[in-house]
Amino acid sequence: MTVFEYQVTGMTCGHCELSIREEVSGIAGVTSVDVSAVTGRLVVGSDADLDDQAVLDAVQEAGYVAQRR
């Protein structure tokens, strides 16, 4: 499994985490999503290479901004 880490800005609560988790989980190949509003950290596990832009777009679709760490 490959792990990709991102920093997300704008999250303030558990609902924020849920929104991001739902969007990112919909990306093909994603096997795990760990997101924390407290730290702003998003960790995505995948069995294959992920397109960073797909993750960034999914976070944006949820209403937030992310960048690769």
Strand positions, DSSP E, 1-69: 2-9, 30-35, 41-46, 65-68
Average pLDDT along the chain: 96
Q: What is the pLDDT of residue 37?
A: 97
* 29-44 mean pLDDT: 97
Q: Which residues pair with 3 in a beta bridge?
A: 45
Model confidence pLDDT, tens digit, residues 6-26: 999 999 999 999 999 999 999
CA distance 54 to 68: 12
Structure tokens at 69: 């760490």
Residue 52 and residue 4 in contact, taking contact as beta carbons nearer than 8 Å: yes
Q: What is the pLDDT of residue 22?
A: 98
CA distance 67 to 47: 21
Q: What is the pLDDT of residue 45?
A: 97
